[in-house]
Chains A and B, each alone.
Chain A
Amino acid sequence: MAPALEVVDVVKAYDRKLAVDRVSLCVEPGEVFGLLGPNGAGKTSLIRMIVDITRPDSGSIRVLGQTMTPALKDRMGYLPEERGLYQKQKVFDVLVFLGQIKGLARHVAAARAESTLDRFGLFASRRKNMRELSKGNQQKVQLAAVLMHEPALVILDEPFIGLDPINRELVIQLMKEAAARGTAIILSTHLMDQVELLCTRAYLINEGRGVLSGTVREMRERFADNAVLVETDADLAKRPEVERAQAVNGLQKAWLRTTPEQFLGGLVRDGAIIRHFERALPSMDEVFIRAVRGGAP
């Protein structure tokens, strides 16, 4: 099966400033892919090229194995960060229109609008004007518009902003369901805990360039210190293999002079009681900060 998205050596400049500089990435069907980066890194510029709002200066973008055509837009869903809807129109009418411009026939768009609103708990509000809805509910309507035509590739730019924990959970659930159906999802967010929770792979962009890519696990391992988290009766600070140790959430975190395997073997040999032992990996927040500040190790 062709990748959902292939970006190869894409370059985009605005008024002589490089917004995107030789970025390459690939997203597979059914994958939730994190597109990460600080503000102004070039994420939105890249996304706008993917959804064919702007065109790259050089490089190529293929969606579902094809170069971009107007018809391919119907296979994509895009929730931009700069978002809003027609404030003076009815919720249902807005959804039907947005469904129709994604290629749905009018009656299909109407049926999908009803079922999607039902799923989002907004069926009772379908005849209300958009401006009568709360900001969070307006955002749900937008998300409904992005998903109602069952796209093969979805791009969500900061989908959790403005949502309460219950609605955030609903969005996560919907993303998981879509991915299970084979939809590729590109998630651009600053909430790194969501990246750890949802994304299989991620791509970190800074000042227009890709600085880190791979699976979330790989990224965390690349930035990991030689340290372990242990729950034991032994005093780790006094052991010769340990450079230093500190308590973290009821566990002891130990930075090692040897490998974790050698250290574990030593503990066992000395008869220590070990209730928990794991490699200490940095959170995605730490990975993000360290990659942006200091570049990839």
Chain B
Amino acid sequence: MKKALVVARHEFLTTVKRWSFLIVTFGLPLFMLVVMGASLLLQKESMREEEGKIAKAKIGFVDESGLLVKKARDSWKPYPTRDEARATMRADGVQIVVVVPAEWLRDGRLDVYSTIPPSLFTMNDSLVAPEFRDYLVSCVLREDDPARLARAKVPIASTVPVYLAETTGGVSREERPQDYLQRMISGVTFFFLLFISISVSGGYLIQGMADEKENRVMEMVISSVTPEQLLTGKLIGLGAVGLLQVAIWSALGVGTAISMAFTFVVNPALFVFCTVFYLLGYVLYGSLLLGVGSLGSNQRESTQLTWFITVTVMSPVFVWVSILSSPQSALARVFTYIPLTTPTTMMLRYSVDPRGTPWWEVALAIAVLIGATALSIRVSAKLYRMGLLLYGKRPAVREIWRWLWA
């Protein structure tokens, strides 16, 4: 283990000192922040400008319904007919004229004429000022009591929802929806955290191994450490690199970090649960990647050889919404017992529905994962031992088979 840790330290330091790591880790989020920030600012500025035009607009109105019996604001110019409004509004300096048609009470449709040129930000805007909307409500109700008017304008100011979760015995259990959402966010966060960090670490694993092969340093290294020590060291070192990168990205996205921290404080059991699946998942994926990847003689070949592993690990991305909505479905169960998709699927299922997920399924999933990880390390170490010394040629399937049973 000591040598594995020496390898881990070396892999970690070598990778984090690379320019490419620093550029990707700090440059990428900064670049995205700058691009997003700049576009948001520009967008906001344009929106404010457009909305300002509408807010400052002089308003006129035409009452074809006969319902506008209450006194309107003095600043709103009344017109007897829509034809007259259309003909003179520009000359009157009125930019928006709201026509309340005769059928308004039945269908609620208003006709709005405007001299303000349409823009992307205002094309979906009703152009009817909130004050005019309130005026319409008071006319319909023929009501002067401010409390009744306020309720009519905003009938639902807030709600106190209680989620009745269905438990296995058919008994409903009360739960605050925000607790449910927190768990779900936690599961989804881990789900994507695992994806991001394994794809980051996976990239470094393949790149580092291909570098060593192309540099021809491998033979010297494995005359000093066993392939198992090398494999373990690389998994630890580059796994730490992946975690560091994700942590830095999370820290740069402060909001994400705070929401994650809050979730974990609220539910430490879930944190432990996700961590166990996360670690097992990473070791399984990483060891398979190194074992199979070692059969390629350069980075391109190694990536080609391992694509099916990566695709399998990524496959829950296509069904995660379905797993979230039905965590105990047959689909969710199938993905639970495919070892490469076990960690992500189980994280989602348990986060969303901890009481509905039977304990024996959790235990079985952990057992499947431990078994698959142990087998993967064993098989990968054998492939790795032989694959590391292959320069420029790919072994035949028969040869690989022989190594596995040697």
Q: List which A1-38 residues lie within 8 A (CB) of chain B.
A: 15
**If the complex has contacts A80-B219, A83-B216, are A88 and B224 also in contact, measured as CB distance less than 8 A?**
no
Residues in B186-234 with C-beta less than 8 Å from chain A: 211-212, 215-217, 219-226, 229
Indicate the member of B220, B386, B402 with the most A CB atoms within 10 Å.
Answer: B220
- Kindly list chain B residues whose C-beta atoms are within 8 Å of the C-beta of A78: 219-220, 223
- B window 1-20: CB within 8 A of A: 3, 6-7, 10, 14, 18
- Point out the residues of chain A lying under 8 angstroms from B14, CB to CB: 86, 89
The interface bits of chain B over 388-406 (1 if a CB of A lies within 8 angstroms of the residue's CB, else 0) are 0101000010110010001
Q: State the Cβ distance, B147 to closest chain A Cβ, in Å.
A: 74
Interface residues as binary, A155-173 with B (CB distance below 8 Å gives 1, 0 otherwise): 0000000000000000000
A82 (CB) vs chain B CBs: closest residue: B216
State whether B399 touches A80 (Cβ < 8 A): no
B223 / chain A contacts, CB cutoff of 8 Å: 51-53, 73, 76, 78, 80
Which residues in chain B, 84-137, are within 8 Å of chain A measured between CB atoms?
none
- Say yes or no: A53-B215 contact (C-beta < 8 A), given A100-B6, A102-B224: no
When C-beta atoms are compared, the residue in chain A nearest to B14 turns out to be A89
Q: Given contacts A51-B223, A78-B223, A102-B224, are A86 and B3 in contact (CB under 8 A)?
A: no
**Could you tell me the distance between the alpha carbons of A53 and B225 in the complex, rounded to whole angstroms?**
9
A145's closest neighbor in chain B, by CB? B220
Are the C-beta atoms of A101 and B215 separated by less than 8 Å?
no
Contact A101 B402, CB 8 Å, known A73-B224, A78-B223: no
Measured CA separation A48–B218 after assembly (Å): 12
Interchain CB contact under 8 A, A53 and B7: no
- Decide if A53 touches B219 in the complex (CB within 8 Å): yes
Residues of B within 8 A of A76 (CB): 223
The answer to the question of A87 belonging to the interface, with a C-beta cut-off of 8 Å to chain B, is yes
Q: Does A70 contact B (CB under 8 A)?
A: yes
Chain A contact residues: over half helix, strand or loop, or mixed?
loop
Closest chain-A Cβ to B239's Cβ sits at a distance in Å of 19
* Beta-carbon contacts under 8 Å, A73-115 to B: 73-74, 76, 78-80, 82-89, 97-98, 100-103
Is there an interface contact between B6 and A88, defined as CB atoms closer than 8 Å? no
Contact at B402–A15, with CB atoms within 8 Å?
Answer: yes
In Å, the complex CA distance between A173 and B254 comes to 61
Shortest Cβ distance from A161 into chain B, in angstroms?
13
Complex CA gap A89/B10 in Å reads 11
A142 adjacent to chain B (CB < 8 Å): yes
Q: How far is the CA of A70 from the CA of B220 in the complex (A)?
A: 14
Instruction: Check B7–A101 contact: CB distance below 8 A.
Output: yes
When distances are taken between beta carbons in the complex, the residues of chain B under 8 Å from A87 are 215
* B406 neighbours in A (Cβ, 8 Å): 55
* Interchain CB contact under 8 A, A85 and B215: yes
Residues of chain A contacted by B229 (CB below 8 angstroms)? 70
Closest to A51 in B: B223
Docked CA distance A55–B216 (Å): 21
The listed residue with most A CB atoms (<10 A of its CB), out of B217, B222, B229, B398, is B217
Q: Are B6 and A80 in contact (CB under 8 A)?
A: no
> Which residues of chain A are within 8 angstroms of B211 by Cβ–Cβ distance?
86, 88
Which of B3, B219, B225, B398 has the most C-beta atoms of chain A within 10 angstroms of its own C-beta? B219
Contact of A73 with B225 in the complex, beta carbons under 8 Å: yes
- Expressed in whole angstroms, the minimum distance between the Cβ of A199 and any Cβ of chain B is 22
B215 smallest CB distance to A (angstroms): 4
What's the Cα separation between A145 and B224 when bound, in Å? 11
Asked, given contacts A82-B391, A88-B18, whether A98 binds B224 with beta carbons under 8 Å apart, the answer is yes
Establish whether residues B222 and A142, one from each chain, have CB atoms under 8 Å apart when the complex forms: no
Q: How far is the CA of A140 from the CA of B216 in the complex (A)?
A: 16
Q: Which residues of A contact B398 (CB under 8 A)?
A: 15
Residues of chain B with a CB closer than 8 A to A74's CB: 224
Closest to A130 in B: B215
A83/B224 contact (C-beta < 8 A), A15-B402, A53-B389, A101-B7 known: no
**How far is B221's CA from A78's CA once the two chains are assembled, in angstroms?**
9
12 contacts between A and B (CB under 8 A): A53-B219, A54-B385, A54-B389, A73-B226, A83-B216, A83-B220, A85-B215, A86-B211, A86-B212, A86-B217, A87-B215, A97-B6
Q: Which residues of B contact A (CB under 8 A)?
A: 3, 6-7, 10, 14, 18, 211-212, 215-217, 219-226, 229, 385-386, 389, 391, 396, 398-399, 402, 406
Which of A's residues lie within 8 Å of B, judged by CB? 15, 48, 51-55, 70, 73-74, 76, 78-80, 82-89, 97-98, 100-103, 142, 145-146
Beyond known contacts A73-B224, A85-B220: 6 more, CB 8 A cutoff: A78-B219, A82-B219, A83-B220, A84-B215, A84-B216, A98-B224
